[in-house]
């Protein structure tokens, strides 16, 4: 009996090894240059990531293939083959011209958890329907409607910064910016007052911190499963959102919607538009409100907080640029009776350049994928990209390539004074599936920066350990070291 079990196990083991070897032979069989993988993570370097951990590693893929003079290269994430694109023209072709062959992202979701079903993860017609439905909610007209509320949220930050300036404290900039963006997204999208500055343990800020920063061993195991064994995870109904985050978020949203419906409350926010859509016979149920608002909440606060943080960090290191930007801000305020309208905020040229340059050097989304949904002949080659293959856009690699941006580690807003549109620049993706919230994000970031620079000089802090390095273990850009700065009040 024991011998039979041993033979059975050995056979299963041999079959598994052969299967993995076969999978890892994919790019060789297709004659595509590739990086040698190792089981189980393939070419990924993170075993138990906090997130999907593809950002820093795709920059490494990019640099490896670039050094070999290649325009495409094959890698494996887990045992799945992924094609890495290096040529900005190929990237544009796939994102824009041949979008219909690359509609999906292939990011994990399971219908057993509504928190995982939203525009980032939806596929095919489900995604198309959602995109049509929500495009109008992110129009310029809607942004203008939200502008005053967002501006009002900035005032919540003033006592904190004034106090730090007076007591010459070192400010944890990301935490401060995240409090602002949480309040802002809370007020404009979810219609709730988050009070992140007043209460350091405020519910939504706590949820945001938990989702991006706190992973128990069980959470990490779930993430590992959903990243490396998505099909099996789907069958088992495994979710990649921490259980407590789901529980609390679902309760908060359900309570808010029910309260509004019961008391007929109508506000100028996003949730209001969703409730109206829900009650007007549109196909929109509670699960969808939960999923979509959750992604607007998480995508809405984290990436904008990072961009504002990194811009302030760079401005503290570049006092000349800071002076130039402050002059523009003060002039714009003066020209508008000491106020800042939506149009005047968006019209500030150097502010726009500064934000664009931060999004180049520190793109919050360092990589994004597309899945080939029908066999596709790759332009200018004999390669047929098979249906189901994932394509990776290595944004960080492209944005920091010295052939496109000389001295790429240097932050220099003048690069965007008159930028060549042919240069690779994909902070918000491109094509029909680009970031739906880009206008919202830019408005939020600019409100924070313009109002801070008008009132404070931003200076380096000795608490920030330099040089800053990108954390290889998160799915949106974060530096390993925390960013602290000093704020000096301008009278």
Annotated binding-site residues for heme read: 435
Are 124 and 415 within 8 A, CB to CB? no
Taking the complex as a whole, the smallest distance from the CB of residue 150 to ligand HEM amounts, in Å, to 11
295 lines the binding site for ligand HEM (CB under 6 A): yes
Site map 69..98 versus ligand HEM, x via CB under 6 A: --------------------------x---
Pick one of 23, 30, 92, 131: the residue that binds ligand HEM (CB under 6 A): 131
Question: Which residue is nearest to ligand HEM, using beta carbons?
Answer: 429
114 lines the binding site for ligand HEM (CB under 6 A): no
Taking the complex as a whole, the smallest distance from the CB of residue 368 to ligand HEM amounts, in Å, to 4
**Tokens 């887990």 sit on residue:** 78
120 lines the binding site for ligand HEM (CB under 6 A): yes
Q: What share of the chain is helix, strand, coil (3-state, %, to 5)?
A: 55, 10, 35
Burial label for 240, CB within 10 Å (0-12, 13-18, 19+), is buried
430 lines the binding site for ligand HEM (CB under 6 A): yes
Pick one of 33, 434, 463, 470: the residue that binds ligand HEM (CB under 6 A): 434
Q: Which residues contact 420 (CB under 8 A, 6 or more apart)?
A: none
Pick one of 78, 191, 429, 472: the residue that binds ligand HEM (CB under 6 A): 429
Please report the sign of the dihedral spanned by the C-alpha atoms of residue 435, residue 437, residue 442, residue 448.
negative
Q: Of 1 and 141, which has the nearer Cβ to ligand HEM?
A: 141
Are 473 and 212 within 8 A, CB to CB? no
Taking the complex as a whole, the smallest distance from the CB of residue 365 to ligand HEM amounts, in Å, to 4
Taking the complex as a whole, the smallest distance from the CB of residue 294 to ligand HEM amounts, in Å, to 10
Sheet holding 456-460, edge to edge: 170-172, 484-489, 456-460
Q: How many residues bind ligand HEM (CB under 6 A)?
A: 25
First to last CA, the chain: 86
Taking the complex as a whole, the smallest distance from the CB of residue 315 to ligand HEM amounts, in Å, to 17
Q: What are the distances in angstroms from CA 63 to CA 31, 57, 60, 426?
A: 20, 10, 5, 17
Per CB under 6 A, contacts with ligand HEM among 297-336 are 299-300, 303-304, 307
153 lines the binding site for ligand HEM (CB under 6 A): no
Strand partners, 460: 485
448 lines the binding site for ligand HEM (CB under 6 A): no
Q: Are strands 390-393 and 80-85 parallel, antiparallel or unpaired?
A: parallel
**Tokens 């050094």 sit on residue:** 67
427 lines the binding site for ligand HEM (CB under 6 A): yes
Burial label for 152, CB within 10 Å (0-12, 13-18, 19+), is middle
Site of interaction with ligand HEM (CB under 6 A): 95, 119-120, 131, 295-296, 299-300, 303-304, 307, 364-365, 368, 427-430, 433-437, 440-441
């Amino acid at each position: 009996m024991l011998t039979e079990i041993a033979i059975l196990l050995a056979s299963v083991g041999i079959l598994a090894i052969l299967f993995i070897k076969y999978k890892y032979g994919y790019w060789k069989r297709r004659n595509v240059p590739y990086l040698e993988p190792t089981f189980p993570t393939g070419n990924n370097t993170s075993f138990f990531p906090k997130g999907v951990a593809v950002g820093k590693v795709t920059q490494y893929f990019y640099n490896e293939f670039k050094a070999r003079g290649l325009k495409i290269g094959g890698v494996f994430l887990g045992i799945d083959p992924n094609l890495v694109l290096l040529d900005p023209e190929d990237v544009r072709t796939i994102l824009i011209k041949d979008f219909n062959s690359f509609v999906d992202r292939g990011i994990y979701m399971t219908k057993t958890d509504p928190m995982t079903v939203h525009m980032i993860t939806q596929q095919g017609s489900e995604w198309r329907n959602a995109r049509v439905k929500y495009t109008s909610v992110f129009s310029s007209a809607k942004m203008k409607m939200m502008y005053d509320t967002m501006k009002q949220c900035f005032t919540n930050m003033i006592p904190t910064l004034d106090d730090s300036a007076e007591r010459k404290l070192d400010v944890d900039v990301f935490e401060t910016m995240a409090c602002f963006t949480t309040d802002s997204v809370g007020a404009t999208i979810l219609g709730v007052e988050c009070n992140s500055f007043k209460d350091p343990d405020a519910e939504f800020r706590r949820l945001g911190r938990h989702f991006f920063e706190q992973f128990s061993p069980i959470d990490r195991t779930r993430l590992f499963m959903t990243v490396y064994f998505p099909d099996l995870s789907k069958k088992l109904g495994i979710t990649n959102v921490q259980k407590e985050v789901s529980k609390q978020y679902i309760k908060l949203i359900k309570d808010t919607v029910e309260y509004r419906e019961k008391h007929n409350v109508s506000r100028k926010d996003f949730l209001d538009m969703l409730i109206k859509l829900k009650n007007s016979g549109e196909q929109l149920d509670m699960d969808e409100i939960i999923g979509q608002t959750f992604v607007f909440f998480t995508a809405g606060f984290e990436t904008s907080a990072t961009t504002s943080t990194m811009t302030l960090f760079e401005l503290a290191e570049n006092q000349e640029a800071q002076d130039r930007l402050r002059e523009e801000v003060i002039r714009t305020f003066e020209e508008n009776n000491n106020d800042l309208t939506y149009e005047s905020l968006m019209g500030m040229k150097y502010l726009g350049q500064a934000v664009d340059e931060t999004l180049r050097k520190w793109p919050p989304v360092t990589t994004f994928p597309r899945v080939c949904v029908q066999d596709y002949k790759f332009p200018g080659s004999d390669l047929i990209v098979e249906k189901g293959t994932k394509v990776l856009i290595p944004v960080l690699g492209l944005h920091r390539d010295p052939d496109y941006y000389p001295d790429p580690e240097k932050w220099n807003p003048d690069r965007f004074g008159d930028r060549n549109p042919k240069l690779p620049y994909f902070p918000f993706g491109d094509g029909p599936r680009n970031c739906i919230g880009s206008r919202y994000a830019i408005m939020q970031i600019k409100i924070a920066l313009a109002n801070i620079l008008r009132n404070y000089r931003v200076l380096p802090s000795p608490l920030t350990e330099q040089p800053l390095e990108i954390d290889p273990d998160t799915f949106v850009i974060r530096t390993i070291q925390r960013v602290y700065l000093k704020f000096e009040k301008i009278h």
